Structure 1
């Protein structure tokens, strides 16, 4: 998993306004916690958090933390795969972001099961805004990750399409994961909370004194 520590003013800045920086950071922490706990229940080998910042009480047991390598997001994503390849050589690796607290364990456990993995080289989780929330490689190496990710324009409506083009251009068979909504805006936050009403994220969103822009 790749994430930023939920520090006010450094995370979820597109939520401010209508949220304050502290409220936005609280939502980020809730999303991060939900995602970490979900991933903790998915059968896997080593669990690695590639973090920008310092871990807090939100970090569950069983996770190894390494700092993000500097540079653009494409470079940081490639470096995360390099960390995973060194930690578990020859094992599949799935990279997930922190912005999809509605993620459930079955969304990953079934497509990543040993039976379903046969013949699959990569996994791609599309985001509703045109980006992607997950990328997996059956045989990750730093060289392959850099080939796939470096130069892909990040945080644009065409990011996911560009990544898929790289995957296909490399001759990889990519399995598609469910499409999810990243939490970037207040509208996204409402949609994600509705999709996962019992999540920490939804509970925290309900606890905020909402403005008309948030409640819609």
Structure 2
């Protein structure tokens, strides 16, 4: 069995994608965030994950067939570690992704879940982000997520520090493809160009980010 967690913020103006402002207004940034989250949830729903959990910082309805969870703790590393702990089932591999990579596909997820469940495969998988962070962390045994509590997040060395901490626990770590996440307006345009056909994100970026930049 495999579990996928999506750690997300409720897309409320002034609370999400603040680095898009300017050029966007808080309302426009929230609509960009909502599109990114919706596309991420669709990708996970299309994957072969047996259990899907949306873990949010505020009340937000999960899609049909999903479970809901609430984030707890202070710093992001603590909230991520708690998300793993609160959903942990011994022997069930767990993959956590955020809401900032709407170019993510079910293919990405299924390949990662196969790695985590492969006999003799890695103990952990880590998906590096272009800005030095990471977009995905998968653990064959979710209890190892305790290492995240002491790792500074949103820095250019977060990914390296996470990998180093996992290796220090004696885990075998496999690296996933590098993806770009959405923080700034240039990120939004670059990621929109990478999204598969039919995704919401490219259209919202065109409507909200491009319009805002042209003002």
- TM-score normalized by structure 2? 0.91
Q: Is residue 57–residue 71 contact of structure 2 (8 Å, CA) maintained in 1?
A: yes
> What is the Cα deviation at residue 153 of structure 1?
1.0
Distance 1:92 1:209 in 2: 37
Q: 1:51 aligns to what? A: 56
Q: Is residue 131–residue 160 contact of structure 1 (8 Å, CA) maintained in 2?
A: yes
Gaps of 5+ in 1: none
Q: Is residue 185–residue 209 contact of structure 2 (8 Å, CA) maintained in 1?
A: no
> What is the Cα deviation at residue 70 of structure 1?
2.3
> What is the Cα deviation at residue 209 of structure 1?
6.7
Displaced runs of 4+ in structure 1, greater than 3 A? 211-215
Q: 2:104 aligns to what? A: 103
Distance 2:97 2:107 in 1: 15
Distance 1:112 1:106 in 2: 10
Distance 1:94 1:82 in 2: 12
Distance 1:3 1:13 in 2: 14
> What is the Cα deviation at residue 214 of structure 1?
7.2
Q: Secondary structure at the match of 2:68?
A: strand
The count of residues paired between Structure 1 and Structure 2 equals 208
1:80 aligns with 2:79: no
Q: Is residue 4–residue 52 contact of structure 1 (8 Å, CA) maintained in 2?
A: yes
Q: Secondary structure at the match of 1:111?
A: helix
Distance 1:134 1:175 in 2: 12
Gaps of 5+ in 2: 1-5
Distance 2:115 2:212 in 1: 47
> What is the Cα deviation at residue 129 of structure 1?
0.3
> What is the Cα deviation at residue 31 of structure 1?
0.2
Q: 1:41 aligns to what? A: 46
> What is the Cα deviation at residue 115 of structure 1?
8.8
Q: 1:70 aligns to what? A: 73
- TM-score normalized by structure 1? 0.90
